[in-house]
Chain A
Amino acid sequence: MREERAPETYSISLSVASGFEFVELAETVTATLARLTGFDEETAMWISMAVREAVINAIKHGNKEDRQKRVEIQYAFNHDGLSICVRDQGSGFDLSQVPNPLDPENLLKPTGRGIFYMKAFMDEVDIWSSPGGGTTVRLRKRIRPRSP
């Protein structure tokens, strides 16, 4: 007989000043929580790399390294998977204006692959950004990807 229970969801949050020295902390916490969620070592590594990209963007493009501004990282995980929200206090941006790094004219550009990188390794990446309202990036990874 199987016990049917509502899956418990755990929430953890982290708030750091806008300094690159905290990127590693975010990476470590993410990898630990990804393993706790049930992801294998390799997947946990890719998730933590994706979160790093979001945190770096929040510090660099969002908060522009203003140490008075904070980056909030919220984790929620249950037996289905892990969801991470990275929020900054910057002035936002227009996602539709971000060039596609796979376009032939962008292929050899030194930057512009961060959001693409997140999307490649996560199941879902949602970005909410409003002028003056900061940016929130939500990254999600399911334990078992939904079949296509």
Chain B
Amino acid sequence: MIRIEHRTLGDVHILDIEGRITIGEGTLHFREAVHRVIQQGGRNVLLNLAGVTHMDSSGIGELVSAYTAVGNRGGRLKLLHVPPRVREVLTITKLATVFEAFDDEAAAVESFR
């Protein structure tokens, strides 16, 4: 189960993600949500991972793909409220330093300015 909601604060597109970013439904919906934002012209993308409960190796791959896809269009993708379980997988895969991550939404939004 995954639930994604899209909201904007100025030109920052925030995706509030809840549930599992795991192979199948999870990675599929996640990819679609990110591409919808890109198609709408979104370049500043903030993923709020507060509600993410599980992330498997495909989920990590999808996160990396999203990062690359946004970057390739001259945009930036950052993370907000990374829960311990996600932090753990990002750390072991050495991706923790690749992603810019915030615990404060206002600070995250401001960082795109």
Contact = CB atoms under 8 A, between A and B. Distances in A.
- Is chain B's interface secondary structure helix, strand, loop, or mixed overall? helix
A107 B57 contact: no
Chain B interface size band reads 20 to 34
Contact of B92 (A45, A109, A120): A120
A107 B92 contact: no
Contacts, number: 51
A113 interface: yes
Contact of B57 (A45, A102, A108, A114): A114
Interface string A106-123: 011111111011001000
A19 B52 CA distance: 25
Contacts of B98: 107-108
B54 A49 contact: yes
Interface residues of A, number: 20
Interface of A: 20, 23, 45, 49, 52-53, 56, 101-102, 107-114, 116-117, 120
13 contacts: A23-B23, A52-B22, A56-B23, A107-B94, A107-B98, A108-B67, A110-B62, A110-B65, A111-B57, A113-B61, A114-B58, A117-B60, A117-B89
Given A108-B64, A108-B67, A109-B64, 13 more contacts: A45-B54, A49-B56, A53-B56, A53-B57, A56-B56, A107-B95, A107-B98, A111-B58, A112-B61, A113-B60, A114-B58, A117-B60, A120-B92
